[in-house]
Structure 1
């Protein structure tokens, strides 16, 4: 039985059009194959959803076009349509496309990409805890930890003007820029760090990946994540993010 025939059988069941022989065949299929049973359950839910969801032919056509791309790729041919005022896919084709989407981990009614706020965990700045009592250090720490990133940027720049190679100042300066959506400047700062050998090397790489994620540059983000080694603090989170992309 082809996938088309199977979903047409599902469709006829929901339309109360099955003959006794067809109903017996469907019952046998469901009882003997767990995958078919799951597809049948999905189809029934989808059929019910389509009956209540669409308020206009335009909405149905839009979803049909989206699902048709998935269905065509799976079956390697276009689903049969009826010639009406608006070209529409038969309901079984929606279900077939939906089952293919589920196989590939795609959420049927709208795939969502990971977002920056789900992964960004900004570390606190703690300069003064190590005995540095310089006024600008205190101000930088207070501004950053209060999420006044514009103020933190200003004070960290002052600190960097006196100690330009301080990796800690550079890292938190980069985070201040990132939180202000200053993407290009963020890359310039963090790239210098992760290409170096300081203790902030892989933290900078992780946050530069998040910088790309924030801009929805998923390919660039993935490339950076793949370079985070297993012994890095953010490796587990990096792998989690990769799986969601």
Structure 2
């Protein structure tokens, strides 16, 4: 049995198109072979995901392209079904097909939800006044805008020692912490800004939502996004993210 014939068999089982005798044979095969049962489980999860995906045709095309290197030719239009004769599959034959299923599972489920990098847009830091000789501010700007967030954190922290209530410094410090995966400290900074009345209040909510998203805390991220008012700078992006959560 070729890999495509086997996946067509999986499809017929999920769609309840097998005869009673075929169903008994397939069920026995799944009970006796752990590798086959795991492969069938992955296929069912993939099938369910595609069924609920509005971009099904595009995703099938993407998957097909990614699987070309291992010679998979299963992906046909779902409407072009064919009858498949059940043949006992030798155990050594599962390795190739299982590798397809594993790659398929990894590819599908890594695409199944929104991720931090899809939504984050880091604003440029500009805190040095024209003509100023403030060396520390210049260092903070240069390191932050060069995405050297460890150095930027150090310099901005020094600035906050001189002006602890500066909401702009706090906001950009929070970003450096998220970018370094210092999640708890970032939350502390953003929560402090949310409690205030500065122009960074709503931006802090948005970035804290992204902070939670980066940690895969989808529910916490969702609740923060819901709290953003329409006048917030990031409201439109927040609504886009909400639809994907």
TM-score (norm 2): 0.62
Establish whether residue 51 from structure 1 lines up as the match of residue 5 from structure 2: yes
| Residue 106 (structure 1) shift | 9.0
- The within-5 A match list for 1:53-202 is 81-82=23-24, 83-87=27-31, 98=47, 102-103=51-52, 110-111=108-109, 112-129=112-129, 132-202=132-202
Q: Write out the 4+ residue segments of structure 1 that deviate beyond 4 Å after TM superposition.
A: 97-101, 103-109, 129-132
2:28 is paired with a residue of what secondary structure? coil
Aligned position for 1:217 = 217
Gaps of 5+ in 1: 1-47, 72-79
| Residue 84 (structure 1) shift | 2.0
User: Residues of 2 paired with 1:141 and 1:131: CA distance?
Assistant: 15
- Bigger RCO of structures 1 and 2 (CA < 8 A, at least 6 apart): 2
Q: How many residues align?
A: 177
Compared CA separation, residues 159 and 197, structure 1 to 2 (3 A): same
| Pair member with larger Rg | 1
How big is each residue's C-alpha offset from its partner over 1:140-161, in whole Å with a ceiling of 9 and x where there is no partner? 0011001111111111111100
| Residue 179 (structure 1) shift | 0.7
Q: What RMSD, in angstroms, separates the aligned Cα atoms of the two structures?
A: 3.6
2:173 is paired with a residue of what secondary structure? helix
